Chains A and B, each alone.
Chain A
Amino acid sequence: MSARPSRQARNVAGFFLALCAVGLFLPNYRLLVVNQHLFLAINVLALNFCLGLGGQISLAQGGLAGLGAYASVLAHAHFPQASAIIVPVTALAAFGLAAAVSRPMERLGEGFLAMATLGLSLIFTNLVLTMEPLTGGSAGMMVETRLILPWIGPLSGDRTFFFLFLGLLALGCWIFSALKNSRPGRALLACKDDPLAASSCGIDRPALRSLSFGLGGAFSAMAGMLHAHYGGFINPEQFSLELSLKALLFLVIGGPGNLLRPLLAVMVLETLMSGMQFLGEGRTLAHGLLLTAALLAGYRRTARPARNTVPASSVAEGHKPM
């Protein structure tokens, strides 16, 4: 109890300091790629709220990020000066929407929840494609407006957005740690470890899980907003299923519930993967192999007996994993 939290805090501080150094010293054009990794890292952290705390798998992060992006861009088109209102309202709306959709899905097992949330992501993509006059359809739309902060003014540039992404990631990490060590956080972990026992202890499982799911939705939407105004162009491809699947993959590789390891996994593996451009057509296979290797390495790590891990499944022993 005494040594562990401080060590984790030191590690997190080290991680953010290293990223700050990257942001200060890397040339602007290289920050473009790092910002993409940070966008993914925020989505991984958002998913960590759902899966790491509440034990609920989600493949809707891409859709929620897209929702934030499109909502913000469309709202800014009408009220270009109102960033200070649009950003929090959109985040709040994403929180409400994610919390609302998670409630009826709360009882679904892992695989079925994955498919249902994946369905949500696909519904978002198809709706964007259908509402072509408003969203530009598959061709996407240019983002003419900038985020404007009171007393600071319009935000632009790779380095500015690097620190905005980093700030959002830091805020997410802080809320994640604070929530994990709070009473609702412990209740969420109880729901994750044994939903039935948690319910029988009087925990309102759907309400608590909708909180974690909602927080995840809000963070994904905020990441989407930053991404939209940073890139200057949005289309459904940027928020497709690939984003959701990648977020889940990196979280599983790093270990759901762990704060730092999934973020490290994103930064390291994504850097490696973006360095594989020279492989040309072979890079999809290389990405697949790299991710398989990382998953197997993560599995070997978690295979060591630990107090809080779910008993190794299952299939061979007749337990019901889903």
Chain B
Amino acid sequence: MFIQYLAQIVNSGLALGSVYGLMAIGFALIFSSSRLINFAQGELLLIGGLTLQSLTLVLHLSPLAALTAAALFGFVLGHLLYATTLGVGIKASPLHQLMLTVAASLCWQGVAILAWGKNPIMLPQLLPLPPVRLGLLFLSRDTLTALVLAVASVVLLSLFLAHTRIGRAVRAVSMNPVAASLQGIRPGFCHALSFALAGILAAMAAMAIGPQTMLRYDMGLGLGLKGFVAATIGGYASVGRVFFGGVMLGLVEAALVLLLSGELKETVTYVLLIGLLVLAPGKREEARTA
């Protein structure tokens, strides 16, 4: 009985944790490059997922085509978000920039309501992977898809940041924008790119979460917050650790759902967030995505 519970916790925890991990990396990327906490991160997922859903109604998408389309939408949406928030207020106070992302989140919610209505919408499973049983461990189709999407994104992003010229430029800007610009790197380009990368990650997260829970116009803020909690657990310092923070959060939440009620789960999550923020404030000052 206990083993069954544990297997259930691992299964649903990994499914949720992968999504949180992807959202967290998006948060960390933007925060590291521009010191901005992006309140509209969840809306990137929402609009990306809803657009993909509309596309599936018109076209029969192969898995590769779905992935390409999601990445492309994510990239464009990320750029659009940058252009309407940090891009217009690059010299504004951090508070103005923060609030611009809040207003953008409201605008995007409005677009979602106008275009897709207020009812939840199911995104079909676009990457049909078979369920897997590893001894006592059981990974459902949705969990495996979410995990594969997330791990592949993490690996690709890590390789991109570590081994490409542009990736190194993004890291340089996150470490020292002035020094980076003296080396001929345009910080604005790297900020935009970090938004676009966050957009791609959010679209991948949408593909992972769409078939698990439906997509609804007001889901963005909650998911974005979970991404922030996960990024805080991960410490903002490396893509892998931030992703691991997301997986940990997912597993803890899944365990709490089985042990406590849904509302208490939320309460414990936010108590955890505040505890982490208060107990380790010094570390993040120097934290950079590497």
Question: What mask results when residues 265 to 297 of chain A are scored 1 for a CB within 8 Å of chain B, else 0?
Answer: 000000000000000011111111101100110
Is A129 in contact with chain B by the CB < 8 A criterion?
yes
Question: DSSP majority for the B interface?
Answer: helix
Contact partner, A115, options B90, B117, B273, Cβ 8 Å: B273
Question: CB-nearest residue of chain B relative to A113?
Answer: B277
The CA of A309 and the CA of B94, in the complex, are separated in Å by 12
Is A167 in contact with chain B by the CB < 8 A criterion?
no
Q: A112-B284, A130-B263, A287-B110 are in contact. Are A303 and B278 (CB under 8 A)?
A: no
The CA of A245 and the CA of B220, in the complex, are separated in Å by 15
Contact B90 A57 (CB under 8 A): no
Contact B278 A104 (CB under 8 A): yes
Contact B93 A302 (CB under 8 A): yes
Most buried by B among A114, A282, A283: A114
Question: What mask results when residues 83 to 120 of chain A are scored 1 for a CB within 8 Å of chain B, else 0?
Answer: 00000000000000000000011011111101110111
List the B side residues contacting A164 at CB < 8 Å. Answer: none
Question: DSSP majority for the A interface?
Answer: helix
Q: A107-B281, A126-B267, A282-B110 are in contact. Are A116 and B99 (CB under 8 A)?
A: no
Most buried by B among A114, A282, A313: A313
Question: What mask results when residues 223 to 234 of chain A are scored 1 for a CB within 8 Å of chain B, else 0?
Answer: 000000000000
Is A122 in contact with chain B by the CB < 8 A criterion?
yes
Is A316 in contact with chain B by the CB < 8 A criterion?
yes
Is A256 in contact with chain B by the CB < 8 A criterion?
yes
B22 to chain A, nearest CB (A): 19
Is B35 in contact with chain A by the CB < 8 A criterion?
yes
Contact B264 A320 (CB under 8 A): no
Question: CB-nearest residue of chain A relative to B277?
Answer: A116
Would you list which residues of chain B between 71 and 121 have a CB under 8 Å from chain A?
Answer: 84, 86, 88-100, 102-111, 113-114, 117-118
The 4 closest A-B CB pairs, nearest first, are A285-B110, A288-B107, A288-B106, A318-B178
Given A111-B31, A115-B228, 15 more A-B residue pairs with CB atoms under 8 Å apart are A107-B281, A111-B36, A115-B37, A115-B277, A119-B274, A130-B263, A281-B118, A285-B106, A288-B104, A292-B103, A295-B99, A299-B92, A309-B93, A316-B188, A317-B177
